[in-house]
C-alpha cells in the first residue's frame, strides 16, 4: 500500500518538535550555567527564579512558545485530516514556523520591537491556518 505524501503542514509539525527541543535546550543550558549541574539534576524543590537577564529571557521565551504551540499542533493536524492542507493554511504554517524561529534569538538578545513583530507574525500565521480550517 502506497501512503500519500505528508503535507507541508505535517512536515512543519515535525520540525516544530525540533524547535521545541531547541527552546528546551537553550533554556536548560542557561539554567545549568547559572545554577550548576547539581541543581539541574536534583529535585529543584527550591524553585528559584533565574537571576541573569538571558536565563530569564530563555525561560520566558520557552513559556511563550508553549502558549501558541498547542494551537499550531491542532491547526496543522486539522488541515491534514480534513484535506484542507495547502493554500493560505500552508502559508500560515510557514509564517508561524519562521516567526517562531526568529523569536527565540530576538528574545534572548533583548530586541524589543522586532521580537514583538515576530510574535505578531506567528499569530497571523495561526489565524491564516484557522481561516483555512474554518473556511475550506
In a domain, 92, yes or no: yes
pLDDT at 4: 57
In a domain, 1, yes or no: no
Cell of 76: 496543522
Q: What is the pTM (predicted TM-score) of this model?
A: 0.90
In a domain, 68, yes or no: yes
CATH code (residue 48): 1.20.120.550
104, 48 contact by CB (below 8 A): no
Give me the domain span that covers residue 63: 8-135
Sign of the Cα torsion 81, 82, 83, 88 reads: negative
Tens digit of pLDDT for each residue in 4-22?
567 899 999 999 999 999 9
Domain tally, the chain:
1
**What does pLDDT average to over the chain?**
91
Amino acid at each position: 500500500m502506497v501512503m500519500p505524501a505528508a503535507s507541508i503542514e505535517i512536515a512543519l509539525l515535525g520540525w516544530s518538535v525540533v524547535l521545541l527541543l531547541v527552546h528546551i535546550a537553550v533554556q536548560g543550558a542557561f539554567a545549568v550555567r547559572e545554577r550548576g549541574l547539581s541543581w539541574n539534576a536534583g529535585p529543584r524543590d527550591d524553585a528559584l527564579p533565574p537571576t541573569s537577564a538571558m536565563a530569564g529571557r530563555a525561560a520566558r521565551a520557552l513559556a511563550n512558545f508553549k502558549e501558541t504551540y498547542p494551537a499550531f499542533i491542532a491547526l496543522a493536524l486539522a488541515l491534514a485530516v480534513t484535506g484542507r492542507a495547502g493554500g493560505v493554511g500552508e502559508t500560515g504554517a510557514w509564517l508561524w514556523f519562521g516567526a517562531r524561529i526568529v523569536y527565540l534569538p530576538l528574545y534572548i538578545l533583548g530586541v524589543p520591537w522586532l521580537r514583538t513583530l515576530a510574535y505578531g507574525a506567528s499569530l497571523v500565521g495561526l489565524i491564516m491556518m484557522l481561516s483555512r480550517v474554518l473556511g475550506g
